[in-house]
Amino acid sequence: MANTTIYCFRNDLRLSDNPAFLKACSDSDFLLPLFCHPKEELFKSNIPRIGIHRQFFLRQALDELKTVLNTYNSDLIEVYGDFAEEIKKIAETIHATKIIFEKIEAPEELDQENSVRNIGINVESIWQSSMIAPSELPFKTTDMPDIFTDFRKQIEIKKIKIMPPTPKPSSVPPLPIYKLHFDKRFNPDYKFTPKKNDQNLNSSFPYLESQYSGGEMSALTHLENYLSLKLPHTYKETRNQLSGLHFSTKFSPWLSIGCISAKYIAFKINEFEKKFGANESTYWIWFELLWRDYFRFLHFKYGKNLYTKNGLNKNLESFKHKEENFNIWINGKTGNQLIDAGMKELFFTGYLSNRMRQIVASYLIYDLGCDWRKGAQWFESQLIDYDVYSNHGNWLYIAGKGTDPRGGRRFNTTKQNLEHDPTDTYKNLWKEKSINILN
């Protein structure tokens, strides 16, 4: 009997350094590349699960992936709906013998995986989204140190190796011969267009410009440009700025849907260091990518506990979330000009610098008395680079309900203003803009 596999792309929309897809190609006689969007209702509420910026960026990436797969005489099939139900329908139609996808260690995605396992077909889920492979760590993920510095030091002492990136497949197996009968659902049409002036004017990540669009090609080109401008040598000095194209790497949108892998970035930074010299800034890019890994591995250890109101905090606090304050925050109408500028930037562009993310998150939790999970939900909807691990990890950290040894981070907006926007340049970029989200 022929091996017919469904490869379901998740946050790994690339062909280079995609070991799971490579395996699907080498193990199968026939292969159906698939992408399953969530149910359409999830796009439609006041806080859509995937807001317009991410939808658009994802659309660009999927279109490119489809075109690339076409050059291999293959294709990318898209469906909307429940992950397991959609896979089941297709598996039955094409008589699939196996389903392969990348493993995502977050609660909803693990539930999806379990439901697919219940279909009764062989399922293989392969972890591949961290810079360091779990098998290379000097501890089991379930025993990892809680504190980031301890985690980092153990990795540095052991001089952990980053596995070399894997190549693109040389060929992709042919599509299954069975005819699929739900073709009309295969080309979902996103019914919106971000407004060009809103998005790209003043944006630190203008994804409507081809250099910043979704897809593996632009991700790789962006990395090459970043390296050829020698920006890794100055990253640490500029990374806390609030706005601009080059103050930080801007890898995150592509990383979040897997147009590029963290391992590949680390490999190229390493090559750069060998060629042009290492310094504190080149090290710091690695350091930040390690934070990304850290929040991933914490999910192996704590799973669903990271998603409760009190997080890992054993002292249960009772406080009442103030919905009216949440509304002024998302609408950029708190009256604090720095916060309002940040919330408008997020809404109109889908991107926010790390510093502004910290400031607006702290303000929501400590000054406006809101539940951190509402903030995380808003970020999930709005951020172009939403990543389940990094988003929840950072919100918990700031709220003092995660693994921060200092028990949370409260940012003083007066001080932050003086340090990061003393001439009001950033605030002035956004002061004429106005958001009106009905709530």
Please tell me whether residue 63 binds ligand FAD under the rule CB under 6 A. Answer: no
Would you count residue 356 as binding ligand FAD (CB under 6 A)? Answer: no
DSSP H helical segments within 118-157, as ranges?
A: 148-157
Question: In terms of CB distance, is 250 or 427 closer to ligand FAD?
Answer: 250
Asked if 388 contacts 104 with a C-beta cutoff of 8 angstroms, the reply is yes
Output the smallest distance, CB 80 to ligand FAD, in A: 23
- Residue 391 binding ligand FAD, by CB under 6 A: yes
Q: Which CB atom, from 7 or from 379, has the smaller least distance to ligand FAD?
A: 379
3 state DSSP class of 424 = coil
Q: How far apart are CA 383 and CA 365, in angstroms?
A: 18
Is 390 a binding residue for ligand FAD by CB under 6 A? The answer is yes
Among 202, 261, 394, 416, binds ligand FAD (CB under 6 A): 394
The secondary structure element, H or E, covering residue 197 is helix 196-200
Stretch that binds ligand FAD, among 16-24, 107-115, 354-362, 399-407 (CB under 6 A): 354-362
Residue 226 C-beta: closest distance to ligand FAD, Å = 9
* Cβ neighbour number for residue 9 with a 10 Å cutoff: 24
CA-to-CA distance for 415 and 191, rounded, in angstroms?
Answer: 42
Judged by CB under 6 A, the number of residues near ligand FAD is: 29
Q: Which amino acid is at 368?
A: L
207 vs 386, beta carbon nearer ligand FAD: 386
- Beta-strand ranges (E) seen in 49-145 are 77-80, 98-102, 122-126
- Considering the complex, state which of residue 85 and residue 404 has its C-beta at the smaller distance from ligand FAD: 404
Verify binding: residue 166, ligand FAD, rule CB under 6 A: no
Tokens 């396992």 -> residue = 117
Q: Cα 226 to chain center, whole Å? A: 20
Q: Show the CA angle centred on residue 355, arms to residues 351 and 356, nearest 5°.
A: 55
What's the farthest any 2 CA atoms get from each other in the chain? 70
Candidate list 386, 416, 421, 426; residue touching ligand FAD; CB under 6 A: 386
Question: Does residue 362 belong to the site contacting ligand FAD (CB under 6 A)?
Answer: no
- Please tell me whether residue 256 binds ligand FAD under the rule CB under 6 A: yes
Shortest distance, CB of residue 98 to ligand FAD, whole angstroms?
A: 31
Selection from 388, 297, 318, 383 nearest residue 55 by Cα: 383
- Write phi, then psi, for 37 (nearest 5 degrees): -80, 155
As measured in angstroms, the least distance from the Cβ of 238 to ligand FAD is 9
Neighbours of 124 (CB within 10 A): 14
- Part of the chain binding ligand FAD (CB under 6 A), chosen from 212-220, 298-306, 390-398, 426-434: 390-398
Among 288, 303, 327, 435, binds ligand FAD (CB under 6 A): 288
Binding site for ligand FAD (CB under 6 A): 239, 248-252, 255-256, 285, 288-289, 291-292, 295, 353-354, 357-358, 361, 379, 383, 385-387, 390-391, 394-395, 398
